[in-house]
Structures are given as C-alpha cells and as structure tokens.
Amino acid sequence: MIAIDGPAASGKSTVARKLAKRLGFSYVNSGALYRGIAWLTSEHHIRPTDAGAVCGQMRKSVFSFDLKGKEMVFSVNGVNPEPHLRDEEVNRTVSAISAIAEVREFLVAHLRTFLTKDDLVMEGRDIGSIVFPDTPYKFYIDASLEVRAQRRAIQGQRDDLFFRDRADSSRRSSPLTIAEDAHVIDSSTLTIDGVVGEIVGRLKMQGLGEALRLD
C-alpha cells in the first residue's frame, strides 16, 4: 500500500497512476469519490454547506465501488459520474462536501476495502494520515502555488486552488496535513518521471527493490 498525499494540482494523480503502472498495483484516486458526492449534491440542487441534506441524499443513494483494469470505477444510483467530476461546480463545492465528517467516514470505509482486492497506490489528502496510517510507504507531493496554478491553467480548468487549499487544510475533520513519517517531495522543478524516480528510489531504500523488481 503506497500512500500519496498533497495539495490540489501538485501532480499527484499523474505520478500515482504512473507509479501504479510501474509497480503493477491498482491506482485509486480518492478525490474522485469526494467529487462524486459533490456531483450528486449538485444534481439534487442541495447546498454543499447543508450537511444534513448532503448526508440524507448520500444515505439514500446506491453506490457501487470496484477495481477494473487496475483502476477504481464507481457509480452512484447506476450512473458513472466520471465525465462530470472536473466540472466547475464540482471544483467549487467539493471542499465543503469533503469537510463533512459523515461523508469522510463513509468514503474512508469504502477506500479501505480496496486493499482486500489488490496492492494499491492511493492518492488524496489523508491517505497516509487517516486511511492507511500503518503503511510505511507514504509520500507527500508539494509544489509552489504558482506552479500548481499554471498546471491547472494548462489543463484549461477554472479551479480556485488557493481557496481549496485553505479549506482543505483548515477543516476540522482530517485536514490536509503532512504525515509525520511521510517522505516530502517538492515537485515544482521536477518532471513527472523525476518524481516517480524519486519515489522508486525511496521504495528501494525501504527494501522493496527485489520484491517489486525495481531496477
């Protein structure tokens, strides 16, 4: 189980997916689930700050979670929300949704079940600190706000990173923090391959080289 955490647009998704491929592990993007709940909420015109209504809708919805082709797939009430997960409305509301303790408890419980199905590279905000605190393989990928904003702009997305960072770091329920035993990588001046290389180097130092055939 390899945990990768970090702020918005730090490059974690691309790195985590590439790393998972290299190791033959499944890749799980936990943020997609928080985005899925944000999408569900906006579909039902529920205010993201109305925790009671958000949780009420979540409780009566039917979710399915699985790993297919080494990646997580999920549906909500029979719909795959994937095409909507990067909508501007979702970008705007997801931090409020993810601050709701019951939403977190619900999703964290499901995230943990994936480990019974395969070895994982999982990325998010609290994977090393809350979801899998016992894994010795924890990474925190950071980059300057400037570099991250540039990366998001290149993706053509409107996304207020500063607002999301502040909300994600200051919420009461499992805020974005650097786990004490995480290996921190500043990716501001590194390429994706550079970051993956640094992680692989660290995994080798931790004695995984032979087991994972890392050369």
Q: Give yes or no for residue 31 binding ligand CDP (CB under 6 A).
A: yes
Which among 29-37, 45-53, 177-185, 189-197 is the span making contact with ligand CDP, rule CB under 6 A? 29-37
- Cα gap 191→141, rounded to integer Å: 12
Residues 6+ apart with CB under 8 A from 137: 1, 2, 3, 203, 206, 208
- Would you say 9 or 58 has its CB closer to ligand CDP? 9
| DSSP-assigned states of every residue in 88-99 | HHHHHHHHHHHT
Backbone angles phi, psi at 173, to 5 degrees: -90, 115
Q: What's CA 187's distance to the chain center, in Å? A: 17
Q: Give yes or no for residue 164 binding ligand CDP (CB under 6 A).
A: yes
Name the minimum Å distance from CB 164 to ligand CDP: 4
Mapped onto helix, strand or coil, the DSSP state of residue 197 is helix
Indicate the residue whose CB is closest to ligand CDP: 31
Residue choice 1, 2, 94, 100 for contact with ligand CDP (CB under 6 A): 94
Name the minimum Å distance from CB 123 to ligand CDP: 7
Q: Give yes or no for residue 142 binding ligand CDP (CB under 6 A).
A: no
- Would you say 88 or 214 has its CB closer to ligand CDP? 88
Q: Give yes or no for residue 125 binding ligand CDP (CB under 6 A).
A: yes
- Are 54 and 41 in contact by the 8 Å Cβ rule? The answer is yes
Name the minimum Å distance from CB 40 to ligand CDP: 14
Encoded amino acid at 162, one letter: F
Encoded amino acid at 188, one letter: S
Instruction: Give residues in contact with ligand CDP (CB under 6 A).
Output: 8-9, 13, 30-31, 34-35, 94-95, 98, 124-127, 164, 168
